[in-house]
Amino acid sequence: MKRIEIEVLGGEAALKAFAKTWRQARTGRHVVPRIAFGSWSELFSTVTEKRLALVRHVAVHGELNTRQLALALGRDYKNVHSDVRALVETGLLEKDAQGRLITPFDEIVIRAGLRTAA
């Protein structure tokens, strides 16, 4: 099962996590892909409930283009297009050679410590 971890990390914690991941990759060990946000608000403005619904739909229903996804979810094409663009930039969705959307992960783990993510 391929998974990605999303975390809320402050500056120093983010640098430590990056260094640890870099060392793992250099030694050839498996590295779980990570996305780090600097604050809760940054996380929740990027990974919204509607955007997660798009990712889930693509994961369950297979490869769709943006128009098919908007129709399937009963949402405005322009809004879905914006959400898809943000999700592709973030790495939670990818496009294949034909422009169809795919989910590169089977699991998304979101972690935000109460004390370290202030």
Q: What is the pTM of this model?
A: 0.78
Q: What are phi and psi of 5, to 5 degrees?
A: -110, 135
Average pLDDT along the chain, 118 residues, taken 10 residues at a time: 84 69 73 80 91 95 92 96 95 92 91 63
Residue 57: the pLDDT is 96
Cα separation, 41 vs 49, whole angstroms: 13
In the three-class reduction of DSSP (H, G, I as helix; E, B as strand; rest coil), residue 63 is classed as coil
Domains identified in the chain and CATH numbers: 3-111 (1.10.10.10)
Residue 117: the pLDDT is 44
DSSP 8-state class, residue 113: -
Tell me the C-alpha to C-alpha distance, in Å, between residue 8 and each of 18, 96, 110, 116: 13, 29, 8, 8
Query: 86: which residues sit within 8 A by CB, 6+ positions away?
Result: 46, 51
